[in-house]
Structure 1
Amino acid sequence: MELRGVDLPPGHPFRYRVATVDAAAAVVVAAAAVWSPWQAAHVPGSNDEETRLLVLGDMGLYNAPALPALIQDAESAAQAGAPFHAALHVGDLAYDLHSYGGSRGSRFLEAVQPLAASLPYMVAPGNHEAGPHNFTHYRSLFRMPDQGVTENLYYSFDVGLVHVMVYNTVYGHIHDYERYLPVLNYTVSGSVERRADNATVYVSPGATVHITAGGAGNSEMRKGECPPPQGACSPHATWCAFQSGFAPRGCQGADHSYGRLTALNSTHLHWVQWSHTFDRVVDDWWIVSPSHGPFA
């Protein structure tokens, strides 16, 4: 959705409704038949205020129990006066958009509508978007920044304090949540501290802190009667600081979760990983970086 010819201040709430293309010339008495219900949303925040994002990956139409929690999270935040500024779905939508002649993609969009109608629902391509049709459904269903040039395959945008870059490395991963140490030349760069509330703090990291956010819920995620595994990823991946749901075995199931990312200011970034499976926060960490620039 684009707002044209409307000058609203950052963070300002507004209501809107949409109609089919033919509805532009419809008479008022027919409005109920061609117009959607009224929806509430907010203008994205300014570049000097706290910015809040929802982050999820690998969420399909089926076996996605975290979706109601995502919707409720967004609604509760808006009612509390601290709305999320966008949701980032970082690849693998619907499982799959093209399935059953595209009907699964349509049903998926209906399922996420309560979320996508209230805040920008930004998407990225994953291997499931490629399908047998060279990303055709993904390119046609969404309109991301520079869509006319890059066809949603890569783009960037600003939202509040955050500059988001979207691209697809076509690299596989486990359907879980993983947090990595900032490693440069096989060495952890910067200090790793612990807050009084047990949250991890990366202070002045000299390397990227990578996150795998691939456990929002899909038909490929394992079901089990026992809790998902948590802790280190494996003895061979010492750069992985924490995981939830990595390679469940035996009676273990997968962990359905998503992230809440908050940029408090230009120096403090906060990530909380909420697990629907555990019904609690499973990871809480910060980046504190007084200065910015290229890594040495």
Structure 2
Amino acid sequence: MTQRRDSASSTTSRSRCIWHLEVTLRNLKPNSTYVYHCGSSYGWSSVFQFRTVPEASADWSPSLAIYGDMGNENAQSLARLQEETQRGMYDAIIHVGDFAYDMDTSNAAVGDAYMRQIESVAAYVPYMVCPGNHEEKYNFSNYRARFNMPGDTDSLWYSFNLGPVHFVSFSTEVYYFLGYGFKLLTKQFEWLEQDLAEANLPENRAKRPWIVTYGHRPMYCSDEKEYDCNKQLETYIRQGLPMLKWFGLEDLFYKHGVDVEIFAHEHFYTRLWPIYDFKVYNGSAEAPYTNPKAPIQIITGSAGCKEEREPFSKDLPEWNAYHSNDYGYTRLKAHNGTHLYFEQVSDDKDGQIVDSFWVIKDSHGSYPEVQ
């Protein structure tokens, strides 16, 4: 495949000027494999390949790997992810914030090394991302320059469709780094309202019944660290900014019938019971994830970084259904409009599945109004 570059941009980090080249591939055929490499007269990359999605893109069953908090040191999950991706196990990867630790370090040389490190994954499948707190330096400039997600928001928030799922990526960091301006927070919230409303139009929800969101910092937390699990900090994302309670996401996601919410930030894996406002709303005692009455939340932040793992609280809350602090990552298989399958891979246990569950829904949409 030969395609000339569409655009080039540069990022300045102190004394270094780093160039990023972008190419848009047009007229790709569905369900086809393309072999490519990148380069110029100065040299060429290795040869990679990717496969486009089927033409009837809502009527197939994509498989994804999902994780957050992977650095270029101690990236425990990377070797297994590389091998599985190149075997064709995944149709996309979702990285839920915190890259490299940190991309701006050493005049952004750490970011360069990290991008080379994930090339053996990201060159084969779409590598979908959202910003975490470790991307904050210089107004997220390394993150904005290095990743190119759908839309025109510098990859801070966006959505895309894959099989029967509408995925929504958002920035939790706009709630914490208000020094960069209040406008990002308001613009994101307005965009989320509009995107979720559109996804819930009858014709859209019928075609893609599942809505799955992902953002870096979780709404609920069972970390032993006081500063990470302080209720006031959790409230920013869940209920909105202090005092005024503006721009809270829990009510918004509940109103629009979000099915699954994925987070990272905590360096462990947690599966929550269906939850809203600190109350559990299982489908039933026997089948909690069959027709649940609230969104299901997952925290998957243990792919491995130099900060290593984090302990759980000694007294785990009632909404914590399962937890593990093994290094690892999450797999999602979207079987159809009624069945999602999740499993957690442990790198400590040589790829063993330490948790798995089905989410089964006969219908999708807003949850019952809570009195």
- TM-score normalised according to structure 1 size: 0.80
Answering whether residue 145 of structure 2 is matched by residue 136 of structure 1, we say: no
Match of residue 330, structure 2, among 235, 259, 271:
259
Give me the whole-angstrom Cα distance separating, in 2, the residues matched to 1:179 and 1:56. Answer: 13
Give me the whole-angstrom Cα distance separating, in 2, the residues matched to 1:271 and 1:105. Answer: 30
Answering whether residue 47 of structure 2 is matched by residue 35 of structure 1, we say: no
Aligned pair count? 254
Give me the whole-angstrom Cα distance separating, in 2, the residues matched to 1:86 and 1:69. Answer: 15
Give me the whole-angstrom Cα distance separating, in 2, the residues matched to 1:7 and 1:274. Answer: 33
1:290 maps to which residue? 362
Query: Structure 1 unaligned runs (5+)?
Result: 24-29, 195-200, 223-227, 246-254
- Given that 2:266 and 2:300 are in contact with CA atoms closer than 8 Å, whether structure 1 keeps it comes out as no
- Given that 1:124 and 1:166 are in contact with CA atoms closer than 8 Å, whether structure 2 keeps it comes out as yes
Give me the whole-angstrom Cα distance separating, in 2, the residues matched to 1:84 and 1:178. Answer: 22
- Given that 2:275 and 2:297 are in contact with CA atoms closer than 8 Å, whether structure 1 keeps it comes out as no
Pair 1:266–1:192, CA change in 2 (3 A): farther
The residue correspondences of 1:1-296 to structure 2 (distance < 5 A) are: 4-9=25-30, 11-19=31-39, 23=40, 33-45=42-54, 46-76=57-87, 78=88, 83-131=89-137, 133-146=138-151, 149-170=152-173, 171=217, 172=228, 173-184=265-276, 186-191=279-284, 193=286, 202-222=289-309, 234-245=314-325, 255-279=326-350, 280-296=352-368
Quote how far apart the aligned CAs of 1:192 are. 5.0
- Given that 1:51 and 1:159 are in contact with CA atoms closer than 8 Å, whether structure 2 keeps it comes out as yes
Give the SS at the match of 2:139: coil
Quote how far apart the aligned CAs of 1:235 are. 3.2
Pair 1:236–1:69, CA change in 2 (3 A): closer
Give me the whole-angstrom Cα distance separating, in 2, the residues matched to 1:62 and 1:266. Answer: 39
- Cα RMSD over matched residues? 2.0
The worse-fitting range, judged by mean Cα deviation, of 39-48 and 135-144 is 39-48
- Given that 2:273 and 2:280 are in contact with CA atoms closer than 8 Å, whether structure 1 keeps it comes out as no
Quote how far apart the aligned CAs of 1:193 are. 3.9
AA matched with 1:8: K
AA matched with 1:178: T
Quote how far apart the aligned CAs of 1:42 are. 0.7
Give the SS at the match of 1:293: coil
Pair 1:275–1:44, CA change in 2 (3 A): same
Give me the whole-angstrom Cα distance separating, in 2, the residues matched to 1:192 and 1:293. Answer: 22
Pair 1:189–1:97, CA change in 2 (3 A): same
AA matched with 2:365: G
- CA deviations on 1:11-43 (whole Å, 9 max, x unpaired) are 322211122xxx3xxxxxx5xx53323211111
Give the SS at the match of 1:139: helix
Pair 1:192–1:87, CA change in 2 (3 A): farther
- Given that 1:176 and 1:244 are in contact with CA atoms closer than 8 Å, whether structure 2 keeps it comes out as yes
Give the SS at the match of 1:54: strand
- TM-score normalised according to structure 2 size: 0.65
Pair 1:233–1:203, CA change in 2 (3 A): farther
AA matched with 1:156: S
Give me the whole-angstrom Cα distance separating, in 1, the residues matched to 2:51 and 2:122. Answer: 12
AA matched with 1:96: D
- CA deviations on 1:150-199 (whole Å, 9 max, x unpaired) are 111111111222211111224355310000000245232312547xxxxx
Pair 1:6–1:205, CA change in 2 (3 A): same
* Identical-residue share of aligned pairs (%): 35
2:206 maps to which residue? none
Quote how far apart the aligned CAs of 1:127 are. 0.3
Give the SS at the match of 1:64: coil
Give me the whole-angstrom Cα distance separating, in 2, the residues matched to 1:50 and 1:189. Answer: 26
- Given that 2:280 and 2:319 are in contact with CA atoms closer than 8 Å, whether structure 1 keeps it comes out as no
- CA deviations on 1:218-254 (whole Å, 9 max, x unpaired) are 00014xxxxx98xx96534110100001xxxxxxxxx
- CA deviations on 1:249-273 (whole Å, 9 max, x unpaired) are xxxxxx2100110100000000011
Query: Structure 2 unaligned runs (5+)?
Result: 1-21, 174-216, 218-227, 229-264
- Given that 2:62 and 2:162 are in contact with CA atoms closer than 8 Å, whether structure 1 keeps it comes out as yes
